[in-house]
Amino acid sequence: MSADSAKVSVFVAVPIADAFEIFTKEIDRWWRQGPKYRLGGTRRGTLFMEEGVGGRLFETFEVASGGTRTFEVGKITVWEPPRELQLEWRIANFKPGEKTFVEVLFETTAGSESEGTLVTVRHYGWSAIPDDHPARHGQVGAAFLRTIGMWWASLLTSLREHTSE
């Protein structure tokens, strides 16, 4: 973990092409529910990733007043199946122009004891977000990056569980 990023990896027991497809096309099925992971909180919602550079990662969810709202979490900047995916990342309380970046790498482990794919997520660019920003929940430096790492670790654990169903 650098002073600007959190990095987490998980092994999934599926071929690399399947790991990439599950990560991207089945994102709503493996991404955890609830207010810690979804903008809609406990309300019904759907997370979707559009394919290709310029595609969006967005969540559509029900709002208390009725109807739905869509929020764009990310914009894809690199789309190289089955090896790499990168996107600009925004949280709902980011100001215009504020963003961080997420890099997802898929590496085959074929030929080793356990065949499958190592999925690594690196979330970086946090140095551009002020220390007093609400997204940090009062944490700065290494403490904040550990929290981000634990958040992604929980999500990647869910991905691993989903691939083994």
Query: Which stretches in the chain have pLDDT values below 70?
Result: 1-2, 110-114
pTM (2 decimals)?
0.93
Q: Note the pLDDT of residue 68.
A: 92
Nearest Cα neighbor of 24 from 162, 131, 165 is 162
Residues linked to residue 32 through DSSP beta bridges, in sequence order: none
The helices-and-strands tally (H runs, E runs) of the chain is: 3, 7
Q: Note the pLDDT of residue 1.
A: 47
* Alpha-carbon span 96 to 37, nearest angstrom: 21
* Alpha-carbon span 61 to 19, nearest angstrom: 26
Residues linked to residue 83 through DSSP beta bridges, in sequence order: none
Q: Note the pLDDT of residue 142.
A: 92
Nearest Cα neighbor of 9 from 98, 109, 101, 97 is 109
136: phi then psi, degrees, rounded to nearest 5: -85, -10
Range list of H helices, 4-140: 16-25, 27-30
**Please, are residues 155 and 9 in contact by the beta-carbon 8 Å criterion?**
no
